[in-house]
Amino acid sequence: MTPGPRRPRPSGRRTAPRDRRGAPRPAAPPDPLVGRTVEVEVGPIAHGGHCVARHEGRVVFVRHALPGELVRVLVTEGRAKDSFLRGDAVEVLRASPHRVTPPCPYAGPAATTPGCGGCDLQHVALPHQRELKAAVVREQLQRLAGLEVDVVVEALPGTPEHERGLRWRTRVELAVDAAGRAGLRAHRSHDVVPLDDCLIADERVVATGALSTVWTGCTGVDVVAADEPEAAVEVPLPVDGPVPSVVQHVAVDGPEGEWEESFLVSARGFWQVHPAAAPTFLAHVLSELDPQPGERALDLYAGVGLFAAALADAVGVTGAVLAVEGDAVAVEDATANLEDRPQVEVRGGDVARELSAMVDQGVVADVVVLDPPRTGAGRDVVDALVRLGARRVVYVACDPAALARDTSYLLERGWRLSHLRAVDAFPMTHHVECLATFEPAAG
């Protein structure tokens, strides 16, 4: 049978192209947005070192900008279907009064500078950096925990260079590129930006020559400036052989006079990077917990035993301190640091699992300090923590979002936030340390 004529398509109507089986062919991908420049009015600071702006109804997370500025933003991440974009402020059309010239030539947008990702806020006057960080802490606690808090971010004491936000970082993890050059990674990238200097690094770190050394066969190098030895220690990565240890001294004023101790720390282990951070945090924890002779104290995420040592001396031989730490090297260091305090037990293992086991065993505590990693403690730890019967808990937090989330868990379980302190332990970056005190709401 001879086929009849094809039916004409309705006028003005276009159909999508189809493949041989009649299925619609996928549309061609839209033009990429990355590399385009858009003009935006910059909104508030957000957690993570960027500000929030909008362009054509879409959120743009902008680095190297300040609230209230009018800037041209180079889009660095984002596609047409994405709900938000990321970008760098490459031209300032209306500047904030808090804008300054970054002291470091490596800091800034990758389009106009080497684009080191180590610092987020070098373009902001240091006092205003702290105001922005306080705004982030307030926003996170309001959004995630429903709390309205009035908090300021304090400066830590130190040298004149520290007071300028420079030369404070005593531990630096350098990346190494394919040519063996050491530096820091670009923002949200594995690319290495080779450096001649890092202005936030302790001068002893730079004096090692790590930044000018060709690190053949290495993926990175850790450089640590401690109290002992006098010179900074270099640890090439991957590690070939034993990792050296360093010594950190801590002295604080306590109710019974000055308390001081020295701590053995693996060069690849955890210790606060600002030289004034450890004594400041320890003094605050002791003041807030007010441990008494004979009490039972718990130190979670105990590291090398900083808090546990001071708590042990406060509760005395009639009291008890249990220190829990998940990192095997830190457990080894803590055991050595606390061996002369028989009232201390050091347990190695996952904190959530160990804490749950303690609750099942009927373990109780009068006071608790926890200093979790950036991810925070989490629901399981909080669930077990509130069952210990403690009269007070101090939470040392390096991430305000994780703190706010865990605060919400504590509030749900009948606890209250009784005191909040924020400290600028990481000048020139978006990071901020918070020390939060919690108590049973009925207490």
Report pLDDT digits (tens) over 76-92. Answer: 999 888 999 999 999 99
Q: How far apart are the C-alpha atoms of 120 and 431, rounded to whole Å? A: 9
Residue 22 — very low, low, confident or very high, per pLDDT cuts 50/70/90?
Answer: low
Q: Over 50: is that where the pLDDT of 7 sits?
A: no
CATH 3.40.50.150 assigned to 132-166+245-440: yes
Residue 27 — very low, low, confident or very high, per pLDDT cuts 50/70/90?
Answer: low
CA atoms within 13 A on the CB side of 118: 27
Q: How far apart are the C-alpha atoms of 41 and 106, rounded to whole Å? A: 25
Is residue 254 within 8 Å of residue 284, measured between CB atoms?
no
* Residues in binding site for S-adenosyl-L-methionine: 272, 301, 325, 371
Q: Is the dihedral of CA 387, 390, 396, 400 positive or negative?
A: positive
* 371-385 residue pLDDT tens: 999 999 999 999 999
Residue 3 — very low, low, confident or very high, per pLDDT cuts 50/70/90?
Answer: very low
- Which two tokens mark 149? 């808090």
Q: How far apart are the C-alpha atoms of 271 and 422, rounded to whole Å? A: 18
So what's the pLDDT on residue 418?
A: 98
Is residue 397 within 8 Å of residue 284, measured between CB atoms?
no
| % the chain with pLDDT above 70 | 93
Is residue 246 within 8 Å of residue 224, measured between CB atoms?
yes
Considering the chain, tell me which residue range(s) the CATH 2.40.50.140 domain(s) occupy. 37-99
Torsion of CA 195, 196, 201, 207, to 10 degrees: 140
Express the helix, strand and coil content of the chain in percent, nearest 5 each.
20, 30, 45
Cα 187 to chain centroid, rounded = 15
So what's the pLDDT on residue 443?
A: 61
Work out the average pLDDT over 24-29. Answer: 57
So what's the pLDDT on residue 252?
A: 96
Work out the average pLDDT over 388-399. Answer: 98
* Residues in binding site: 272, 301, 325, 371
Amino acid at 282: L
Is residue 152 within 8 Å of residue 186, measured between CB atoms?
no
* 181-236 residue pLDDT tens: 999 999 999 999 999 999 999 999 999 999 999 999 999 999 999 999 999 999 99
φ and ψ of 367, to 5 deg = -135, 150
Is residue 47 within 8 Å of residue 12, measured between CB atoms?
no
* 325-343 residue pLDDT tens: 999 999 999 999 999 999 9
Work out the average pLDDT over 98-118. Answer: 96
Q: Which residues contact 319 (CB under 8 A, 6 or more apart)?
A: 291, 292, 293, 294, 295, 296, 297, 312, 343
Considering the chain, tell me which residue range(s) the CATH 3.40.50.150 domain(s) occupy. 132-166+245-440
Is residue 153 within 8 Å of residue 134, measured between CB atoms?
yes
So what's the pLDDT on residue 334?
A: 98
* 38-89 residue pLDDT tens: 999 999 999 999 999 999 999 999 999 999 999 999 999 998 889 999 999 9
Helix, strand, or coil (residue 109): coil
201, β-bridge pairs: 169
Amino acid at 193: V
So what's the pLDDT on residue 289?
A: 98
So what's the pLDDT on residue 8?
A: 43
Count of CB atoms within 10 A of residue 119's CB?
A: 25
Is residue 104 within 8 Å of residue 90, measured between CB atoms?
no
Is residue 52 within 8 Å of residue 43, measured between CB atoms?
yes
Tokens 């917990």 map to which residue?
A: 289
So what's the pLDDT on residue 396?
A: 98
| Architecture category of domain 37-99 in CATH | Beta Barrel (2.40)
325, β-bridge pairs: 348
So what's the pLDDT on residue 442?
A: 80
Q: Over 60: is that where the pLDDT of 9 sits?
A: no
* 263-311 residue pLDDT tens: 999 999 999 999 999 999 999 999 999 999 999 999 999 999 999 999 9
* 146-190 residue pLDDT tens: 999 999 999 999 999 999 999 999 999 999 999 999 999 999 999
Rg (CA), the chain: 26
The DSSP code sequence of 225-249 is --SBSSS-EEEEES--SPPPEEEEE
CA distances from 291 to 311, 321, 367, 380, 388 (A): 7, 11, 7, 25, 16
| % the chain with pLDDT above 90 | 90
Catalytic center residues: 398
CA distances from 263 to 194, 421, 433 (A): 33, 25, 22
Q: Over 50: is that where the pLDDT of 6 sits?
A: no
Residue 1 — very low, low, confident or very high, per pLDDT cuts 50/70/90?
Answer: very low
* pTM for the structure as a whole: 0.91
Q: Over 60: is that where the pLDDT of 12 sits?
A: no
